[in-house]
Amino acid sequence: MKDGVAVSLEIYQKQIRDFLVSEDAGVLAIRGSWGSGKTQTFNNILDGLVAESKRTGNNPIARNHYAYVSLFGVSTIKDLKNKMYTSKTKIEEKEKNNRSLNHAAKFARSLKETTLGSIANRLGFSSGDVINEMISKISLFTTAETIVCLDDLERTNIESIDILGIVSELKEQLNCKIILILNEDKIKNYSEYKEKVIDYEIYFNIKPQEATGIVFNGEPHADNIIDLCHHFEITNIRILKKIKKLHFEALEKNIIDQLQPNVLKRFLLILVTGNLCMYSSDPKIPSFDYLKAGDYENLTMSIINKKYGNDDSTTEDIKKLKLNYTRFIKGAGIYRLSPFDSAVLDSIESGFYDQDSIKAISEPLNNQAKRTEASKNLYSILKNLNSTLDSEYIKPIKEAIKFFTENVTDLRQNDLNDLYIVIDYFGMDAEKYQIYKTYKSAHSQKAARFSINDEYFRTQSELHPELKNLLKDYYLILRETPSKIKLLEDLAISDKSMDDELIILIEEIEVGDIEKFLLSVDIDNFRPAVEALLSHRNRDSRLEHISQLTSEYFKRRAESDKKAEYLASTFNIIT
């Protein structure tokens, strides 16, 4: 199975089930990143087979006993053997194994009460140590004909060669079926395991839709949470469980039951993104500190440097992280944090809610949402009265449309929005789309004019919902990552203004990119283009390096090319 490709959960389930019901001894490795659902999926399948056995009276599992050992903290082979022995139980009693003393524990306790225990004590030995040593000697042999699950292989200090020996003996001599659950990225010598003892292998990498299906099951607001988790492509089961736990606690404490739909939507967004940033190890996901800072424009570099800056980090690494972080924040729709957002993030960080504080902060938001909803209802009622309006009311609207069309290059989103709302109120659909197309045509190369993050729309409740979608969709089209040649063309020929996100991309431009661009410029535009690139040091300090790279390009060419040397001198470049 190809690594890195998400595979249907049903395929994994079938492969694990087939292994458990086949008679042959063998070793199955289930590998994948932490939190990917490996252990839970295996347990679900085994529990399902146990339930089937109880329901039908016919055990489909190829062995009658089961032993589960997490190697987290297990440091010696003796400890591993003892844990296998003491965890072994009948397969149908698997779910009881953690809630009651099994046969091994009872056996160990009874030994302490026998003559053997008394003799050990009289000789100055701990009866517990003697009995543990006895169990270690016999434990491996008593594990014969058992399904053995060894979890967290990467978290043990036991040498891989020693574990290989145990696994090989369980399989070859004791006819066991062994399941190894591990994160191979964190384990040494995995290839050694794979080559010598593993018969079957599953790389566990499920789809977001199936990950949420494992965790969520019809809870209130589950559809909204699931949609957000799919948007962020969350497959880590542990993160999903963290989200579910805090959501359940919010329900239990009546924190979100009275929230208006828009406020609830915001709560769920911060809940999901906060947990993702808190617990994800993906370098493309911002740190929780970054998310919580809120002042994304000013604190970005300082926080990234603090978290990722080290001897190996380069300026290029930091720039890429900054770009990833910026895209994540904008993709999430979190342009700034409100006190309500910060209170939710505080709850994620502490693990519990300050119920009174969150309710006090959410009350004004709720009231504003109620007023907005009331305005929408009134708007709907007034629109239905359109048919009774006299034509004299339409005349000034026509004049407004004419004025807008004639002056569109000087107008911004707020003007478009105000006129759009009025026209829509009078049901003039053709005119409504006419002014949007006029605006779009006039500003088709200015992405900022379509950004709903504009200062006027920081409170997005004022933006007409239909217009908001039109602006947002076209903004995304304009903001597709341009090539370096296109960026230089915008700088040198069209004199296009650059926002912070484009500046990040421009900072990646090198001398070779300057050369490719200048070679693509026609003769009529060559001199103005060079002059424009050189003049950026005086016009925008953020673009000073473009001027420096242009000078460096001509200096290099001048060393071997008389024509280039002449050009450099005409541009006052000292070679």
Burial of residue 212, with CB atoms counted within 10 A of its CB: 0-12 exposed, 13-18 middle, 19 or more buried:
buried
Convert 526-550 into a string of H (helix), E (strand) and C (coil): HHHHHHHHHHHHHHCHHHHHHHHHH
Per-residue pLDDT, 138:
67
Other beta carbons within 10 Å of 236: 22
CA angle 494–500–503, rounded 5-degree value:
60
Q: What is the pLDDT of residue 494?
A: 63
Which tokens sit at 129? 């140590």
Report d(CA 181, CA 162) in Å as an integer.
17
Half-sphere exposure at residue 122, Cβ-oriented, CA atoms within 13 angstroms: 6
**CA count, 13 A, side-chain hemisphere, 34:** 12
Alpha carbon 225 to chain centroid distance? 14
Q: Kindly report the three-state secondary structure assignment for every residue of 89-155.
A: EEHHHHHHCCCCCCHHHHHHHHHHCCHHHHHHHHCCCCHHHHHHHHHHHHHHHHCCCEEEEEECHHH
* 362, HSE (Cβ side, Cα atoms, 13 Å): 23
Q: What is the pLDDT of residue 548?
A: 87
pTM, full prediction:
0.57
β-pairing verdict for 89-90 and 65-70: antiparallel
The rounded distance, in Å, linking the Cα atoms of 254 and 264 is: 12
The pLDDT value recorded for residue 306 is 61
For 246-276, the three-class secondary structure string (H helix, E strand, C coil) is: HHHHHHHCCCCCCCCHHHHHHHHHHHHHHHH
Do the Cβ atoms of 209 and 231 come closer than 8 Å? no
Listed in order, strand segments (DSSP E) in 183-254 are 200-203
Closest CA relative to residue 39, chosen from 162, 181, 238: 181
**Neighbouring residues of 189: CB distance < 8 A, sequence distance ≥ 6:** 160
Buried b (16+ CB within 10 A) or exposed e, 511-550: eebbeebbeebeeeeeeebbebbbebbeeeeebebbbebb
Residues 6+ apart with CB under 8 A from 165: none
In the prediction, which pLDDT does 375 show? 59
- Unique residue bearing structure tokens 């370098």: 283
Q: Mean pLDDT of residues grouped by 10 in the chain (575 residues)?
A: 60 91 94 86 91 88 93 89 88 60 49 49 50 60 90 87 89 94 77 81 87 89 93 92 93 88 93 94 86 70 57 68 81 86 92 87 84 62 49 70 78 80 81 88 78 53 81 78 81 67 78 87 83 72 82 81 71 67
Radius of gyration of the chain from its Cα atoms, rounded to whole angstroms: 33
